[in-house]
Every structure is written in C-alpha cells, then in structure tokens.
Amino acid sequence: MADKIFRVNMTDLSTSIEEIPADWAGHGGRGLTSTIVAAEVPPTCHPLGPNNKFVVAPGLLSGTPAANSGRLSCGAKSPLTGTIKESNSGGTAAQLLAKCGCKAIIVEGMAKDNVWYNLAVTPNGVVINEEKEVIGKGNFEALEILSERLGSTQGIITIGPAGEMKMRAANLSVKDPDGHLRSCGRGGLGAVLGSKGVKFISIDPQGGKVEIADKDKFRAANKVFAKSLVDHPVSQALGTYGTNVLVNIINESGGLPTKNFTSGQFEGHEQISGETMHDLMKDRGGKVKHNCHKGCVIQCSQIYNDVNNKYKTSGFEYESIWALGADCAIDDLDLIAEADHILDDIGIDSIETAVAIGVAMEAGVLEFGDGEGLLRLLTDEVAKGTGLGRIIGGGAGDVGRAFGVTRVPVVKNQAIPAYDPRAIKGIGITYATSTQGADHTMGYTIATNCLGVGGSIDPLSKEGQVELSRNLQIATAAIDSTGMCLFIAFAALDDETCLPALIDLLNARFGIGLTGEDVTNLGKSILKTEHAFNQAAGFTNADDRLPEFFSLEAIAPHDAIWDFTGEEIDTFWDF
C-alpha cells in the first residue's frame, strides 16, 4: 500500500486522498508536519482561524517493528507562540496511522455553527461524523466512552475541555496501549484542533500493514539498534526511575528552578525525586517500567498509583513534576500526581500550566507551596473556563501580562521547562534559538560527530557553545522525523553501532541508500524551513532572547547569570 495524504476540509466537510508531492516524500514526523505547514499555512494567519492547518504525521519508521519508533508528530502554527510548532507524543496513533497507509492528515478550514465533529480514519480515508456524546467531557471519561463505542484497539487523538475552550496551552491527548493517555503537550495544538471543530480523530487500520522493502536487512538492523538501546546505562536508569531521576542531580547543580525561578535549589527535592517515586510506585502496586507505545524497549514510563493503590497517572515526567513541584514549592508527590491527573483530564500542557501557576503564585494569587489551592485553581477555574482559569490556560506569558509580573520565564511566549539556563547555559541557547519557543527537547544529546555535524570551533568559547547547540538542534530535527523517541539519543551518543543501524533501518524500510550526511542535511533543511516560516510570520533575531531577568538576577546557589549577548546568539543561524 503506497502512503497517501489524507486531507479534511472542515469548512465544507469534504475529504480527499492525495498522492504525496515529490518534495514531501522523504519526510516523516516533524519534518513532514513542518514542511506542510510551511507550504500551506500563511505565516501571518490567525492560529485559531480558518487559514491555519492542523497536520498529523507518523514518523518514517512508525508502524514497523523498529524499536522505539512509535512517536506521533502534530504540527500547525501555534496559538501560544505564533511560530511554527511541532509537538510529539507516544501512544498507539502513529503506528496505526502508518498502518492505514496515511503519510499525514491535513485538517483545514473551520466548522460552522459551533457544531462538533469527529474524524474516523481508515485505510479508505477519512469520514467526518458529527459528534455530541463526548463534547464537554474530560479526557478520561471520553476515552472510556470511545473505547466502548469503537472498541479498545482503535487509536484516538483527542482534545479535552481546554481544547474545546481554545486555551492557548491546550494539548492533544493520544491513547496509549493501556487505554490511558499521552500528550502532545506543547504549544497549544489542542486549541488548533478545537478551532477546526474536531473533538477527536479515531484510527482503525483494519488489518493494514506497513510494507518493508528489505525485510532481512530491516530485521538485522533492528536487532543491532534495539540491543544498543537496551544495553545503555541511561536506559537502565530510565527504566528504573523514569525521567524524574533528574530531580536530585539538577537540584545539586543549582539548576532546578524553584519558586518561579528565584532559586536553583528546592529544599523538598528528595520528596519529589525519581528515587522516592520509584519506591512509592513499588509500595502501591504501580508499574516502575511501562511503555508508551508498542515496541519501546526503554520503558521510561510508569504507572503511579495513589495511597489506595488505585491508578492516578502515568508517564509522570520530570518536567511536569518539577513544574508542579519545585517551581510551585510543593513537595508532596501525591498532590503533584493528582494535579497531573487533572491536567491530563482537562487536556492542557502540564509544563505551561504549572509554570503559569508559578507566575500566578508570585503575583499573589496563591501562596507558594499551597498544593490544595493549586488543585482548586485547576478544577474550579481552569477546567470551568472562568476568567482566571482562561488566563492561566493561556500560559505563563498571559499570567505575567495580566498580573504585571516581570519574572516570566518564557521564550516566544512558551514556558521555559525544568533546567535553569543560568546554571546550564547550553540549554539556554536551545531555549533562545529554538524555532518552537522554549523547549528542552529541541536540542538533544545527539552524537553530532557521528552525523558529521561535530563542532569545529573551540567548544569552550561562546561561539563554540552556540555551534554545538546548533548541531544538536540539526540532529534532533532529523531524529524527530523518523518517529523515533528522543531517548534513543543516549545510545546514539555512545554506541557506534546505534546511528548506523538507524540509518540502515530507514534504508531497509524504503529501499534507499541514505548516508549520515543525508540525515544531517534533512535536519538542516527542517530547521531552515521552520525558521523561514517564523521570519515570514514576523519573528526576528530579537525574539531569540531569554527574558531580561535571567541577565539581571543571579540565581542561588552559584549566583550565575545569563551572559550571552544578542550578537553571540545570532550566530546560531549562520549555516
């Protein structure tokens, strides 16, 4: 089955199946969503208007047996940042979409008369159905209803009440293999799908399979690739403690933003650490290891149960725990898990919303450390869409503007996640220059030297640091196109068999002859495409900056400040 583009027009409720334009054929995942958005969305359009388009794409290897290849990319012009946006997630949707022979879904236009719809995707294309039953429902109830209606094996991409209310921090929820959910968290893409009048997309591959050009080569490459992942020590830590293993060490470095970025260390860090979380999960019959999609061999996810040993949340990540914990000065992991559950149910980004609440705490809306108050804010204000709730649901930037707070940790209006750029400068460069607003996953720990983008300048100079960050972002953009989880990066950094095996997988899947240089060029092309879109939308180098307070306020314990000049940062785009 040759892959196709499935197009949906919500204005006239029409659908079509299209051949893939030659320029798009080599893309998948982020590369494809960004290429389509750049090609078809007017950069200056309103993100919640009819001219924006919502694009979903599985990765190049999604739907195959390749280990860790089940990431789903969603893209659009972001209502939060105003930039191009890609947000990706685990769950079952990417693999099922690929098995439908769907290279990408493009949702355009806007439904009329406040009528809500769902989109049913099969190998035969997309059917648009009017939807009433799950409108207004929280995500968990909606998923239960839909599992009953559609069966448990169909993939679901849905928005929660936040997306229906078009909050700028609204996310997309993607059903995972257990019937719970994962999130395309960042950038407000839930609001974009909501603006189209689409509540959810269901995916039924009806037995479809992904074709592999050379099965023997693919099998051999996958064996090498999976082994490199399983054997790596970071994979062991992730499978034991999850990403939350970072709390203690980032705290030790003085880079754990605390109380809305006023300190780099949190007194209660050990009560919210990955080590503590591991023990609580074991005590309560949760799962320490868990996969967010079939074929994941790292299994960094987990199932966190409450004190009564009942499911509370899964995929309980460091960045969410940091944001709800240290940034709001809350040291109760159960309370943080409850908040995470509510955020998942509302369908809103747990980083953006929690950072927004940290800013609100500074404004005096709540006391720092008031966990019960935080839960009340989420359930009584955000979930119900009150005035205050909509300000918080608009993200940290909106809260800062509404309450006159100057310490607002955002870049391009997207909240800075869990690593203080004053204490960890390399991440600050990524925050400043990312095409997507502040995002720690945009410049990951990729073996840039293996991809032929190793640094050529003294890495200890600022120029060298910018160059290294650029190379990380180029390599990350390429990996994001494959459908691979970014956590393959650790093995890719250390195991010389890993990246070649990944390239072999791509070649065996499509019967082509990619080289490392081709992959690097793909990454460069994606970054340039995204940057060009942002420039056409009105962004300039002046937007590639960290907030002023990072240069004015030293952060304890090291009294570090952000000291990159604009000129130094601007060299990022010299390629």
Partner 1 sequence: MTNKLGCIPQLDIRIPVVGSILPYTTLLQTGILVESKPQPTVRAFLGSLPGFTSQYMNERIETIFLNGLPVDDLETIINGSAPILAISAAMPGLAGAIFRKNGFHAPLRTTITDDSSDEVQSSEQVMILLKFFNMIVSERGGAILHDGCLIKCNSVRRFMNYRPQLFSDVLPMSCDNKKMDFVEVINMLHKSEIVFLKIQQDTASI
Q: Which CB, 146 or 333, lies closer to partner 1?
A: 333
How many angstroms separate the CA atoms of 181 and 296, rounded?
Answer: 16
Residue 250 is a binding residue for partner 1 (CB under 8 A):
yes
| Residues that contact partner 1, how many (by CB under 8 A) | 59
Q: Does 238 bind partner 1 (CB under 8 A)?
A: yes
Based on the shown chain and the rule CB under 8 A, indicate whether residue 118 belongs to the binding site for partner 1: no
Query: In terms of C-beta density within 10 A (0-12 exposed, 13-18 middle, 19 or more buried), how is residue 436 classed?
Result: buried
| 259 contributes a contact to partner 1 by CB under 8 A | no
Query: Distance between CA atoms of 571 and 575, rounded to whole angstroms?
Result: 9
Among 112, 215, 223, 282, binds partner 1 (CB under 8 A): 282
Residue from 249, 536, 552, 554 binding partner 1 (CB under 8 A): 249
- The C-alpha atoms of residue 413 and residue 393 are separated, in whole angstroms, by 13
Q: Is residue 422 at the binding interface for partner 1, with CB under 8 A as the rule?
A: yes
| Contacts with 42 (C-beta within 8 Å, 6 or more apart), sequence order | 51
Q: Which is nearer to partner 1, 462 or 545 (CB)?
A: 462
Three-class secondary structure of residue 313 per DSSP:
strand
Q: Of the candidates 15, 147, 153, 276, which one interacts with partner 1 according to CB under 8 A?
A: 276
Examine residue 427 and tell whether it contacts partner 1 (CB under 8 A).
yes
Among 233, 285, 511, 538, binds partner 1 (CB under 8 A): 233
Q: Is 394 in the site for partner 1 (CB under 8 A)?
A: no
Structural tokens at position 352 = 């953006």
Q: Which residues contact 521 (CB under 8 A, 6 or more apart)?
A: none
**Crossing angle between the packed helical segments 215-231 and 498-510, to the nearest 10 degrees:** 150
Of the ranges 135-143, 207-215, 243-251, 498-506, which one interacts with partner 1 (CB under 8 A)? Answer: 243-251
Does position 174 interact with partner 1 (CB under 8 A)? The reply is no
For residue 533, which of 5, 18, 55 has the smallest C-alpha distance?
A: 55
Q: Which segment (21-29, 93-101, 390-398, 422-430) binds partner 1 by CB under 8 A?
A: 422-430
Q: Which residue among 18, 275, 372, 496 contacts partner 1 (CB under 8 A)?
A: 275
The verdict on 329 binding partner 1 (CB under 8 A) reads no
The first and second tokens of residue 385, run together, are: 């869409």
Candidate residues 13, 110, 424, 514; the one interacting with partner 1 per rule CB under 8 A: 424
- Of 350-379, which residues contact partner 1 (CB under 8 A)? none
Q: Which two tokens stand for residue 365?
A: 């809306």
Our CB check for partner 1 shows the closer of 41 and 247 to be 247
Residue 165 or 250 with smaller CB distance to partner 1: 250
Q: DSSP assignment of 150-184, as one string? A: H-TTSEEEE--HHHHTT-TTB-EEEE-TTS-EEEE
Structure tokens at 79: 């209502």
Q: Which is nearer to partner 1, 99 or 440 (CB)?
A: 440
* 429 near partner 1, judged by CB under 8 A: yes
Question: E strand or H helix at 200, and its extent?
Answer: strand 198-203
Q: Which is nearer to partner 1, 14 or 236 (CB)?
A: 236
CB 251 within 8 A of CB 272: no
Nearer residue to partner 1 within complex by CB, 378 or 468: 468
Q: Which of residues 461-520 bind partner 1 (CB under 8 A)?
A: 464-465, 468-469, 472, 487, 490, 493
- 401 near partner 1 (CB under 8 A): no
Alpha carbons 472 and 494: distance in angstroms, whole number: 15
Helical spans, DSSP H, in 296-424: 318-324, 333-346, 350-363, 371-376, 387-393, 396-403
SS3 assignment, position 530: helix
The residue range among 167-175, 216-224, 247-255, 358-366 that interacts with partner 1, by the rule CB under 8 A, is 247-255
Nearer to partner 1, 42 or 557 (CB): 557
Length of the chain equals 575
DSSP per-residue letters across 50-78: TT--EEEEE-TTTTSS-TT---EEEEEE-
292 binds partner 1 (CB under 8 A): no
- Interface residues with partner 1 (CB under 8 A)? 232-234, 236-238, 240-241, 243, 245-246, 248-250, 252-255, 270-271, 273-276, 278-280, 282-283, 300, 318, 419, 422-427, 429-430, 440, 443-445, 447, 449, 459-460, 464-465, 468-469, 472, 487, 490, 493, 557-558, 560
